[in-house]
Structure 1
Amino acid sequence: MSVLVINSGSSSIKYQLVDPDTGEAVATGLVERIGEENGLIRHTYGDRVREIEGPVADHGVGLETAIGLFEEIGPSLTDGAIRAVGHRVVQGGKYFDGPALIDDAVQAKIEELCPLAPLHNPAHLKGIVVARRLLPDVPHVVVFDTAFFQSLPDEAAVYALDRDIAERYEVRRYGAHGTSHHYVSGRVADILGRDDLRQIVLHLGNGASVSAVESGRAVETSMGLTPLEGLVMGTRTGDIDPAVVFHLARVGGMSIDELDTLFNRGSGLKGLTGENDMRLVRSMAAAGDERARTALDVYAHRIVKYIGAYAATMGGLDAITFTAGVGENDADLRADVIGRLEPFGVKINQELNAARSKEPRILSTADSRVAVLVVPTNEELAIARQAMSLV
Structure 2
Amino acid sequence: MSLASNPPASVVVVLNCGSSSIKFALFDAGTQDPPRQPWWGGKVQGIGSGNASLQAQDGVECSLTLGDAEPYHDALGVIREAIRARLGAVPVRAVTHRVVHGGAHHAAPLRVDAAALAELRGYVPLAPLHQPFALEAMEVLLKQRPDLPQVACFDTAFHHTLPQVEQLLPLPWSAWERGLRRYGFHGLSYEYQSIVLPERHGEPARGRCIVAHLGSGASLCAMQDGRSVATTMGFSALDGLMMGTRCGALDPGALLYLMEIEGLDVHAVGQLLYHQSGLLGVSGRSADPRELLAHEADDPRCAAALALFVRRIVREIGALVAVLGGLDLLVFTAGIGEHQAEVRRRVVAGLGFLGLVLDDEANARNEAVISAPACAVRVAVEPTNEEWVAARQALQLLS
The reply to whether residue 163 of structure 1 matches residue 176 of structure 2 is no
The reply to whether residue 55 of structure 1 matches residue 67 of structure 2 is yes
Residue deviations 1:147-204, cap 9 Å, x none? 0011111111100101113423x21001111111111232112111236321100000
Shift of 1:84: 1.8
- Which residue number corresponds to residue 142 of structure 2? 132
The reply to whether residue 349 of structure 1 matches residue 335 of structure 2 is no
Shift of 1:55: 3.0
Shift of 1:341: 1.6
For 2:282, the aligned partner's letter is L
Number of residue-to-residue matches in the alignment: 382
CA contact (8 A) 2:245 2:275 kept: yes
Shift of 1:257: 1.4
- Which residue number corresponds to residue 364 of structure 1? 371
For 2:293, the aligned partner's letter is R
From 27, 32, 36, give the equivalent of 2:45.
32
- Which residue number corresponds to residue 334 of structure 1? 344
TM-score (norm 2): 0.90
- Which residue number corresponds to residue 174 of structure 1? 183
- Which residue number corresponds to residue 3 of structure 2? none
- Which residue number corresponds to residue 284 of structure 1? 295
Aligned-residue CA RMSD in angstroms?
Answer: 1.9
Shift of 1:231: 0.4
User: C-alpha distance in 1, partners of 2:288/2:280?
Assistant: 8
User: C-alpha distance in 1, partners of 2:365/2:397?
Assistant: 39
The reply to whether residue 46 of structure 1 matches residue 58 of structure 2 is yes
- Which residue number corresponds to residue 191 of structure 1? 200
Shift of 1:205: 0.7
For residue 199 of structure 1, give the secondary structure of its aligned residue in structure 2.
strand
Shift of 1:16: 1.3
Counterpart mapping for 1:167-316 below 5 A: 167-168=177-178, 170-194=179-203, 196-274=206-284, 275-285=286-296, 287-316=297-326
User: C-alpha distance in 2, partners of 1:341/1:15?
Assistant: 37
For 1:28, the aligned partner's letter is G
Identity of aligned residues (%): 37
User: C-alpha distance in 1, partners of 2:322/2:299?
Assistant: 35
User: C-alpha distance in 1, partners of 2:293/2:55?
Assistant: 32
Shift of 1:334: 0.8
- Which residue number corresponds to residue 5 of structure 2? none
Q: Which moved more, 1:224-233 or 1:48-57?
A: 48-57
Shift of 1:292: 1.3
The reply to whether residue 68 of structure 1 matches residue 81 of structure 2 is yes
From 357, 381, 384, give the equivalent of 2:391.
384
For residue 362 of structure 1, give the secondary structure of its aligned residue in structure 2.
coil
Shift of 1:245: 0.8
User: C-alpha distance in 1, partners of 2:99/2:140?
Assistant: 15
Q: Which moved more, 1:124-133 or 1:326-335?
A: 124-133
Classify 1:200/1:247 alpha carbon distance in 2 versus 1 (closer, same or farther; 3 Å): same
The reply to whether residue 4 of structure 1 matches residue 4 of structure 2 is no
TM-score (norm 1): 0.92
